[in-house]
Amino acid sequence: MGQKLSTVQSLRAIAATAVVAYHSAATIRIFGWTPGALSHASEWGWSGVDIFFFISGFVMVATTSGRLRGAQAAKDFMVARLMRIAPMYWILTSLMLAVVWVVPSLKNSEFTAMQIVTSYLFIPYEVKEHGNAYPILYVGWTLVYEMFFYAVFAISICFSERCMRWALPAFFAGLSVLSLTRPTLYIFRFLTSPLLLEFVLGCLVAWLYKFGYRISRRASFSLIAAGVFGFLVLTPGSSMEDRVVFAGIPAALLVSGMVFWESAEGWIGGSWLQGIGDSSYSLYLLQAFTVPAFARLFSAMDKHRVLPGDIACVLLVIATMMVSLLTYRLVEKRIDAKLGKLRQGLRRVPASGSGRPEEPAARPAGRDRGV
C-alpha cells in the first residue's frame, strides 16, 4: 500500500492549502483588502477538512487491514496515533497561550481553566459565544473529531476484522441517526455529528481497495469530475449537519477517484506536491499564527491597500507554506524520528511475565495524520 499512498499525500497538500486559502480570504477582508474572484473561490476551501476526514478513515483501514488484532495491537495503534498527533499540537497550543498572555489584545475571549485542560486532552468543550468546540488553538477542533474516531477504531481492532467491517459503520451510522433528535448538550451534539460518517466513508472505500476492487482510468476520472462538480455546487458555510452531504460526498468521490486513478497507473502528483503533503500537518496548525501575523505585516507595508486582494491572499498562503515547510523539517520531522525510535524501543521490552519480546502491532505507515 505504500506506493498507493502517493496520491493521498498529494491530496493532503491540496486539502491543507485549500483550508489555508479559506482562512486567508477571510483575513484579508478583516484587514481591509477588497477580495477578488480568487478570494471568493477560496470560500470553498473549508471543504478541505472533509477531504482530510475521508483520508483519515481510508488510511487507517488501508494500513491496518490484515495485520495483528487484539488488545495489544489496539494499544499500540492508539499510542502511535498520539505520538503522531499530540506533540506538535501541544507545542503550538502552548505557544498560543504564551502569545495571548504576552499580548492580551490578541485574545477574542477569556480562556477558562476547563477550556485549557480540554484543549490539551482533545476533549470537546463548548465555547458559549461560538456554540461550537474550539480549543485554544482553534484549528484543533478537527483533531477532537480525529481522536474520537481513533479511539473507536482502536477498540474495533480488539475484534476480528470481519466484525469490525460491520460494527464500525453501524456504530457511527447509529450515532448520526441520534443527531435527528437535535440534542442540546454539546457533548451529545459532538458524539452524534454526521461529520463522523466521513471517516466511515473512507473506511468503506479502503476495504474495497484492499479486497482488490479496481476501476478503469475513465471511471476514475468520472469520480474525480463528480467530486469537483460537487464542490462547485455546494453551499459554502453549510452547517455541520449538512456538510457530510454537501462536502463529505464530493470529498469521497474525489479521493476515491484519485486513488483508483493511481492504481490504473495514472497521475499521482509531483514530488513537490507530495513534499507539501508531508508538511500538511504543520501547514494546517501553523496557519492559526502565520495568517494573522503576515496579514498584519502586509497591512503595515500596504497602508493604502494598493495591493489587490487576490495577491494579498496568495501571499498569505505562500508565506504560510514556507513557514510550515521549515517547521516540518526543523521541528516536526525530528520529533517524529525521536518518538519513532522510542516506540521501537518500547516494542523490544518483554511483555510482563512473558519472557519474550512483544509482537509488533499493526501501525499506520507513512505520514498518515489525516489533518
pLDDT of the residue at 321? 98
Predicted confidence (pLDDT) at residue 1 exceeds the cutoff of 90:
no
Inter-residue long-range contacts of 156-161, CB under 8 Å, 24+ positions, other chains counted: 157/64, 157/69, 157/70, 157/73, 157/74, 157/77, 157/362, 158/69, 158/70, 158/71, 158/73, 158/74, 159/69, 160/69, 161/65, 161/66, 161/69
Helix (H, G, I), strand (E, B) or coil at 326: helix
What's the confidence (pLDDT) of residue 236? Answer: 56
Q: Is the pLDDT of residue 153 over 90?
A: yes
Four-CA torsion 180, 182, 187, 191, nearest 10 degrees = 10
125-129, 222-226, 241-245: segment of lowest average pLDDT: 125-129
Q: Residue range 70-93: average pLDDT? A: 96
Q: Mean pLDDT lowest for which of 201-210, 232-241, 258-267?
A: 232-241
According to DSSP H, which parts of the chain are helical?
A: 5-30, 37-41, 48-64, 71-102, 113-121, 141-157, 161-178, 186-191, 196-210, 217-233, 243, 249-263, 271-278, 280-301, 309-327, 333-348
pTM of the model: 0.89
User: Between the CA atoms of 88, 92, 94 and 100, what dihedral angle is there, to the nearest 10 degrees?
Assistant: 180
Residue 66 neighbours by CB under 8 Å, 6+ apart: 161, 210
282 sits in the region (left: phi over 0; alpha: psi -120 to 50; else beta) called alpha
Q: Is the pLDDT of residue 144 over 60?
A: yes
pLDDT over threshold 90, residue 36: no
What is the mean pLDDT of the segment spanning 63-74?
Answer: 90
pLDDT at residue 343, rounded to an integer: 82
pLDDT for 300 beyond 50: yes
As a whole number, mean pLDDT of residues 272-299 equals 95
Q: Please give the Cα distance from 12 to 361 (Å, whole number).
A: 26
Q: Can you tell me which residue has the cell 484492499?
A: 210
The lowest-confidence range among 3-17, 136-150, 258-272, 302-316 is 258-272
pLDDT the model gives residue 65: 87
* Model confidence band, residue 240 (pLDDT cutoffs 50, 70, 90): low
Place of cell 475571549: 109
Q: Return the C-alpha cell found at 73.
A: 495491537
Report whether 196 contacts 148 (CB < 8 A).
Answer: yes
pLDDT digits 0-9 by tens, 255-279: 999 999 988 876 666 788 888 999 9
Report the Cα–Cα distance between both ends of the chain, in Å, rounded: 20
66 versus 277: the higher-pLDDT residue is 277
Give the residue-averaged pLDDT of 225-235.
87
> Residue 357 pLDDT more than 70?
no
- Given a cut of 80, whether residue 202 has pLDDT beyond it is yes
The per-residue pLDDT of the chain, averaged, comes to 87
**Per-residue pLDDT tens over the stretch 169-189:** 999 999 998 888 877 788 888
362 pLDDT more than 50: no
How many other β-carbons are positioned within 10 Å of the β-carbon of residue 219? 14
